[in-house]
Amino acid sequence: MATDKELNDFLENVERRAFKQAVYAVRKDESALDIVQDAMIKLAEKYGDKPAAELPMLFQRILQTTILDYFRREKVRNTWVSLFSGFSRREGDDDDDFDILNSYEAEEGSAAAESSADQIEREQTLRLIEEEVQKLPTRQREAFLMRYWQDMDVAETAEAMGCSEGSVKTHCSRATHALAAALKAKGITL
Amino acid sequence: MNTDDINLAYKIRHALNEQLDTLPASTTDRLAAARAAALARKKADAPIEYFKPAPSGWREMLAGVGNFVSGPAMSRLAIAVPVLALVIGMGGVYQHEQQQQIAELADIDAAVLSDELPLNAYLDPGFSAYLESQQRRQ
């Protein structure tokens, strides 16, 4: 059974990555923070008495479910909004997404124009990598991040994603190849 | 995945980790607050198991009995025992009634067989007519 300290250490260790994972999925920092908070509370409330070794898998499962719930709620809300107003919320969302991407590109452009210092170039590369990770298909991104970022093994990832170990390996392989191709196309070498 | 793929995956992991350090303070503060809120609502420790290995001392034994009495196994027993008692009771009553009936029939048979009047007398229509006339006279 995980002690308070074990649970605290686990959450502290995982919270930033979980936040980024949620941002990659929902593309809104505020929503991502809410999602991570919900996932943390659900983990503590329902699985606080589980062994510390099971926490990573459980937390990932809860996080993915919470992200899915967010999309479901958004869909329902969009339906009602589009029913009661002339504007489609979905279009608004798309606009938001484009704004985010545009602002990223603008920042990259301005940063590159201002200086060619290594620091800025490095930041730009990191941001591009993040963008490419964000662009991956959802299941591929989940599998890739759980395996290589959250240090979960194939079995744990499969359990958290609710699929077979073979599927996890396939998702990871495809994600890595897609990232390699995308980074190569942008002239990024790691 | 071959070695190159795995190397690339770990390089990407390294790059993503670097990005974590650039999170704004407001975000990290909010995450810390979320963690604190989660810890405050942590599920209490799991209840003690009701069936334990044989306790060594009286105190442990009594504690074990106490746990058993207050546990979910006991609540199931609390329903099962009265139902079982009811079934057994109804079976007993039925059996008793049957015995009673048999005893009554046996008494009638014994009375008829031990009567001075022979049994064949009741089959004689003349005797029946005699009994009726006797009853009318009374």
Considering only the beta carbons, identify the residue of A7, A36, A190 that sits closest to B34. Answer: A36
Q: Would you say the ipTM is above 0.85? A: no
Ramachandran angles phi, psi of A137, nearest 5°: -60, 145
CB-CB: which of A15, A169, A172 is closest to B35? A15
Q: What was the pLDDT predicted at A4?
A: 84
Distance between CA atoms of B9 and A97, rounded to whole angstroms? 26
Mean pLDDT of the A137-166 span? 91
Q: Are the Cβ atoms of B9 and A144 closer than 8 angstroms?
A: yes
| Encoded amino acid at B131, one letter | L
Residue B43's Cβ-count burial label (10 Å; 0-12, 13-18, 19+) is middle
Band the pLDDT of B53: cuts 50, 70, 90: low
For residue A150, the tally of other CB atoms under 10 A from its CB is: 21
| Residue A81 and residue A151 in one domain | no
Q: Are residues A15 and A71 in the same domain?
A: yes
Those residues with Cβ within 8 angstroms of residue A62's Cβ, 6 or more apart along the chain or in another chain: A39, A42, A43, A47
Rounded Cα distance, A69 and B135, in Å = 94
For residues A125 and A69, membership in a common domain is answered with no
Q: Are residues A56 and A123 in the same domain?
A: no
Q: Dihedral of CA A49/A55/A59/A60: which sign?
A: negative
Instruction: Determine, yes or no, domain membership for B60.
Output: no
Whether B75 is in a domain gets the answer no
**Cβ separation of A40 and B30 shorter than 8 Å?**
no
- CATH at A178: 1.10.10.10
Structural domain includes residue A110: no
pTM of the model: 0.59
Record: contact A45-B11, CB cut-off 8 A = no
What whole-number distance in Å separates Cα of residue A22 and Cα of residue A69? 12
Question: Does residue A79 share a domain with residue A11?
Answer: yes
Give the pLDDT band (50/70/90) at residue A176.
very high
Residue A160, domain member (yes or no) = yes
DSSP class of A116: -
Q: Is residue A99 part of a domain?
A: no
* Boundaries of domain holding A167: 119-190
Which of A44, A179, A180 is nearest residue B39 as measured by Cβ atoms? Answer: A44
Maximum C-alpha span of chain A: 54
In a domain, B66, yes or no: no
CB atoms within 10 A of CB A13: 14
Query: Is the CB of residue A148 less than 8 Å from the CB of residue A171?
Result: no
Q: Is residue A111 part of a domain?
A: no
Angle in degrees, CA A150, A152, A153, rounded to 5: 155
**Structural domains in chain B (count):** 2
Any chain A CB within 8 A of the CB of B18?
yes
Which range of residues forms the domain containing residue B20? Answer: 1-45
Number of compact structural domains in chain A: 2
The B residues from 22 to 41 touching A (CB cutoff 8 Å) are 22-23, 27-28, 30-32, 34-35, 37-39, 41
> Does the beta-carbon distance from A48 to B15 stay under 8 Å?
no
CATH number of the domain to which A71 belongs: 1.10.1740
Clarify whether residues A187 and A128 are in a common domain.
yes
Number of inter-chain CB pairs under 8 A, A vs B? 109
CB contact under 8 A, B9 and A1: no
**pLDDT for residue A168:** 93
Q: Kindly state whether residues A125 and A190 are assigned to the same domain.
A: yes
Angle, alpha carbons A65-A90-A86 (nearest 5°): 140
Q: Is residue B50 part of a domain?
A: no
At A114 the three-state DSSP class reads helix
Q: CB of B12 within 8 A of CB of A133?
A: yes
- Closest Cα of chain A to B37: distance in Å? 7
In a domain, A182, yes or no: yes
Q: Are residues A123 and A187 in the same domain?
A: yes
| Ramachandran quadrant class, A38 (left: phi over 0; alpha: psi -120 to 50; beta: rest) | alpha
Q: Are residues A143 and A79 in the same domain?
A: no
Let me know if residue B59 belongs to a domain: no
Chain A nearest CA to B47, separation (Å): 10
Tokens at A79, concatenated: 């339906």
Please identify, among A86, A107, A141, the residue that sits at the C-terminal boundary of a domain: A86
Q: Give the pLDDT confidence score for residue B52 in this predicted structure.
A: 47
Helices in B21-52 by DSSP H: which ranges? 25-40
Q: What is the pLDDT of residue A75?
A: 87
**What is the maximum alpha-carbon separation in chain B?**
126
Cβ B6 vs Cβ A144: under 8 Å: no
d(CA B107, CA B89): 27
| Shared-domain flag, residues A21 and A72 | yes
Contact between B31 and A33 using a beta-carbon 8 Å cutoff? yes
B11 within a domain of the structure (yes/no): yes
Contact B43 A47 (CB under 8 A): yes
* A126 vs B5, B18, B42: nearest CB: B18
Q: What totals of helices (H) and strands (E) does chain B contain, helices first? A: 5, 0
Same domain, A174 and A130: yes
Confirm whether A148 is domain-assigned. Answer: yes
Q: Is residue B97 included in any domain, yes or no?
A: yes
Q: What is the pLDDT of residues B8-46, one digit of tens each?
A: 888 888 888 888 888 899 999 999 999 999 999 887 665
Query: What is the overall mean pLDDT for chain A?
Result: 82
A103 lies in some domain: no
Do B90 and B37 belong to one domain? no
Interface with chain A: mutation pick from B39, B45, B48, B49, highest number of A CBs within 10 Å: B39
| Residue A82 forms part of a structural domain | yes
